Amino acid sequence: AQKVTQAQTEISVVEKEDVTLDCVYETRDTTYYLFWYKQPPSGELVFLIRRNSFDEQNEISGRYSWNFQKSTSSFNFTITASQVVDSAVYFCALISNSGGSNYKLTFGKGTLLTVNP
């Protein structure tokens, strides 16, 4: 079975603060993919990053960075110098092909990030 846990339901920060969103996953597969999506109030899911299980390199993209640690089954997301426009719900998700599952995407419950001016 696959599971994604985002323990933080809501986070509120003041603009320019750094914030880290936690994600812990469970899977029995050795090959899997991890994702982060942003969902602004409009509802559409905005793809942020994909990481496969064989690539543990951390990634930085502008103010965003991701820390993938297989030893702790975590894929945490950090926003540096947060801005009001970062306010959204962020979902961590996992794909694997357990038992021919058609690569179903398993989502965490999401973290609502509010960045206050």
Partner 1 sequence: GAVVSQHPSWVICKSGTSVKIECRSLDFQATTMFWYRQFPKQSLMLMATSNEGSKATYEQGVEKDKFLINHASLTLSTLTVTSAHPEDSSFYICSARRTGGAEAFFGQGTRLTVV
Contact residues toward partner 1 (CB under 8 A) are 33, 35, 37, 43-45, 47, 50, 91, 95, 97, 102-105, 107-110, 112
75-95 burial by CB neighbour count: b if 16+ within 10 A, else e?
Answer: bbbbbeebeeebbbbbbbbbb
The residue with tokens 């357990």 is 98
Q: How far is the CB of 56 from partner 1 (least distance, A)?
A: 18
Nearest CB to partner 1, comparing residues 30 and 71: 30
Q: How far is the CB of 80 from partner 1 (least distance, A)?
A: 26
Residue pair 90/79 in contact (Cβ under 8 Å)? The answer is no
Rounded to whole angstroms, the Cα distance separating 59 from 51 reads: 9
Q: How far is the CB of 81 from partner 1 (least distance, A)?
A: 27
Nearest CB to partner 1, comparing residues 18 and 56: 56
Nearest CB to partner 1, comparing residues 15 and 56: 56
Helix (H, G, I), strand (E, B) or coil at 40: coil
Nearest CB to partner 1, comparing residues 39 and 73: 39
